[in-house]
A and B are shown apart, each in its own frame.
Chain A
């Protein structure tokens, strides 16, 4: 089975695609068949992913490649390929597992929707594109799947298409990510022209193998940075992060899918996949391109964590936490910790899907309300949602020992601390840890503790079909740590191709205490600030955020997302629209006027020749004719028809002739 899968790796992404097509052809009312097809497709992909995972366990550093010719242009073949290595295999497992949970959850969440069938078609398509992306052995194939992921997210974010805000968010996501994609596309072209192939691995001739990398030379830095533009767009890094929070306009399962398993993971995965290009020519593990990655990551992580503190929408808080966590992963990749970054990505996939689905359950229970300030006291009403959400929160905040997120964050901090270029990113990330704990504590207090407010009066726990995925994901968020701990760093060894040994003594490390202190500080700060959130406290009215009361200007700045959207609207977007108007104006009033001017010149020339004709040539001719006519009139006057006149003239003539001859003689 496993060997068969390695030879038919493409089936893993083809099955969800096929399911998607089949669902699209269903009539609109067939909810059950649609959900069944999508879930069967996903289970099939999960099973195949599992069988693909097995051989990577048996053979250390397995790299199975299946290349094929897509088409031949002129006399050259364009080759694509599929690739199975540990990086792809773990991504396959994570994506299929998380997607499956989200699919099941969606059955409950979307039950009332008129376009239920279409929703599942898009979901399957999304998952198929993402699976194709991780098993691509060609930057071109990866780019193709990458764009299809973009298409799927566009369709899903704008799923509630009658809402103008959803359509605007979808447009924003598509265009913002496409800005990054254009950089990616140029990087791809540059790489292709330098190395002559886009295959990653091709028996020594691939662009990621030493011979191919040697061909890049100094351009490797630029190629890496251009490719990184794509990752910045898809993974919501500063300055292209603006689409990600707006993507919350889609149904909550979509947010979960975008923020956990697919889409945003794609950018981090891309950097990890083409890492050899980033690290090519590295001195002491540092290259200019990787340094850019680190600082972009640091800026994103801190900025997003700060903004998250002041958001009122339950999903937006999570959205900014995703942006922040992705920044963290980028830092990890940039400082050389590819395995640490990928581990955090995987762990994040589970707990962020959990948190989003938990948020979906809360929203569902509160009848569509998303404002955390209107909730409160839900821990009694929604016990399953609360406990699983608490697990997700602790994993995200990085509470040490029991939660996967804690261990992977530990790894990231560890590699960042040892970055030879600078210690600053490490300190910034430590600040990020405190902020993360703070905003998650705030959110949990607002939603689950305190008194019931407007939206949570008639709240109810969600159906089994929705809580089951929460429980599964919560278990994953905890159990996943088994393979992450320093005592048995199996996943790290698996990804880096080093066998992991089991040593229980390494479980407790001094850095754990630092993390404990920092997370504790964040939680304590959160509890201290928000213990009376939602109730009147001294002069503060109940509906004002305590932080807003203390620091209104700072809060306003963060609440408005640092006014980055407004800045873009006034600069980039305004500039684009102005150029559009200008081009249109130039067309009408410059180029077309020139053409019309030439036409006018032609017309003037025509008028001129006409007048020359009229007054010059024609006048001359007229004069001649007039002369002729005058002569004619004269002559015709002579033709009077009177015989005596004629005879008289003849007589005079004869007399004249006679005189003439006489004179001659």
Chain B
């Protein structure tokens, strides 16, 4: 089926324009309608996707600017499909979280289109276009609809990531000048033998690394994140953590790892150390937060740190056995999806608390279990999923990442276990403060989960449980890609 991928990118854009002709009160239904269309498109793509095949599928290729080797080339492999499905899930989830005005939904739809583009483009110029295109709506969404110190947070977010993008662009120009190609697959093929040599290689590596490390974000490039997530409205935080943060991880898998195998091997221990810092320091910092949103934001840094640990472990070693490489990669892919839904759900639930209380400090609540048992119950599930309790989705990804990384980089992985422990401390502390003890006066008027809130959060939480118990359907999406990539990196 040709055109499925282009349709994915186009439908939200059309939606964004359609929104302006729709009446204000129909803004959310219209936006959701277009989400339903993209979701349908994503599911059809999944049906047409051959899970046995490793290469790109549903490819569309058109000449664009031949002079600089830019093509319109989109297609999906297992990883792209996973992220397309995640995007299709998180955006409507975010739309259901908050009722906003037309402009808000329009910008979100533009961002959605950019996300689909980023996850499916297979040519650097096209990819970079989408990559940057997602940044502007995100910036505006924080700046216009945010709370608190939103101007500052939005500017910091924009400038920081944009600076990273510039560094990345320069890095890629060096590659283009050396190879004459922007095509991901071609470059990955050349990468095995080293694309560049000498100082140029290192400069180019550093540029791309910086751009992606800011995007993920990787310690110590993460300081824009707590501010941005804290200031953004709930639904934007959900998309930022659920999907946008995955653009960085995706970039690492798609660009940095295949293009610079020798460089990564040389600086591997340092990269692992940075990942380790994300894993250990971020939850420690989360422990010291009293703002619930900031707390969840810091834990996002920790969870993405696990992804980085797995990727760097795979890339930094040339001796990894196939089973360990595949375990780590599968774990990273699972973690990408799991963190997406779990962190989005956590932001959603924090948003519900904030809507009811008007505040979101950890000590502004207390004894909620007596008043809102359902809200507390489902929130606990999301929290336990995030702290990696077996039986829920988080454990699957983390177990595989640790399994793969431990065999390859044992000492780093052994220290990373501290992250698992501190995450548990943070969540159990939060549960104690929010749910237990005597009911706080200001919370005594809270409504428990409303029907519309129930239909939003319960399916997502059930998905966490389904992945935690029988995750095969998820692995089917990317197993062939994992095998292919493990051969490429290993």
Contacts and interface: CB of A to CB of B under 8 A. Distances in A.
Contacts of B367: 161-162
A72 B424 contact: no
Interface string A127-168: 000000000000010011001100100100010011110111
Interface string A180-209: 001001100110110010000000000000
Contacts of B156: 595, 599
Given A166-B436, A594-B220, A595-B224, A72 B472 contact: yes
**In terms of DSSP, what is the predominant structure of the interface of chain A?**
helix
B40 interface: no
Given A148-B390, A580-B288, A162 B437 contact: yes
B326 A592 contact: no
Interface in B251-290: 281-282, 284-285, 287-289
A576 B286 CA distance: 12
Interface string B81-112: 00000000000000000000000000000000
B31 interface: no
Contacts of A147: 389-391
B353 interface: no
A174 interface: yes
B287 A189 contact: no
A584 B289 contact: yes
Interface residues of A, number: 50
A171 B432 contact: yes
A75 B479 contact: yes
Contact of B414 (A143, A186, A583, A586): A186
Interface stretch (B19-27, B122-130, B179-187, B402-410): B402-410
B287 to A, nearest CB: 4
Contact of A167 (B160, B288, B436): B436
A595 B330 CA distance: 34
A90 B195 CA distance: 64
Interface string A579-601: 11111101100011011000100
A71 interface: yes
Contacts of A179: 421
Given A147-B390, A595-B160, A583 B475 contact: no
Interface residues of B, number: 66
Contacts of A79: none
Contacts of B438: 162, 164
Interface in A561-588: 576-577, 579-584, 586-587
Given A71-B471, A76-B327, A591-B220, A185 B436 contact: no
B329 A74 contact: yes
A361 B420 CA distance: 40
Interface string B207-234: 0000000000001101110100000000
A186 B402 CA distance: 9
B326 A171 contact: no
Nearest to B222: A591
Contacts of A174: 424, 428
B400 to A, nearest CB: 6
A462 B42 CA distance: 63
A168 B428 CA distance: 10
A190 B369 CA distance: 40
Contacts of A582: 284
B417 interface: yes
B479 A193 contact: no
Interface in B389-440: 389-391, 395-396, 399-400, 402-403, 406-407, 410, 413-414, 417-418, 420-422, 424-425, 428-429, 431-432, 435-439
Contacts of A161: 367, 369-370, 435-437
A540 interface: no
B406 A190 contact: yes
A185 B160 contact: no
A452 B186 CA distance: 89
B156 to A, nearest CB: 8
Contacts of A599: 156, 159
A175 interface: yes
B71 interface: no
A596 B342 CA distance: 31
B484 to A, nearest CB: 10
A486 to B, nearest CB: 42
B421 A164 contact: no
A73 interface: yes
B479 A72 contact: yes
Nearest to B396: A71
A190 B425 CA distance: 25
B295 to A, nearest CB: 11
Contacts of B159: 599
A531 interface: no
Given A73-B330, A576-B425, 19 more contacts: A72-B472, A73-B475, A74-B329, A75-B479, A147-B391, A158-B436, A161-B369, A162-B369, A162-B439, A171-B429, A178-B421, A179-B421, A182-B417, A192-B407, A576-B422, A580-B287, A583-B288, A587-B281, A594-B220
8 smallest CB-CB distances across A and B, nearest first, come from A74-B326, A167-B436, A584-B288, A580-B287, A73-B330, A583-B284, A144-B390, A193-B407
9 contacts: A76-B323, A161-B367, A161-B370, A174-B424, A182-B420, A185-B402, A185-B420, A189-B402, A587-B281
Interface of A: 71-76, 140, 143-144, 147-148, 151, 154, 158, 161-164, 166-168, 170-171, 174-175, 178-179, 182, 185-186, 189-190, 192-193, 196, 576-577, 579-584, 586-587, 591-592, 594-595, 599
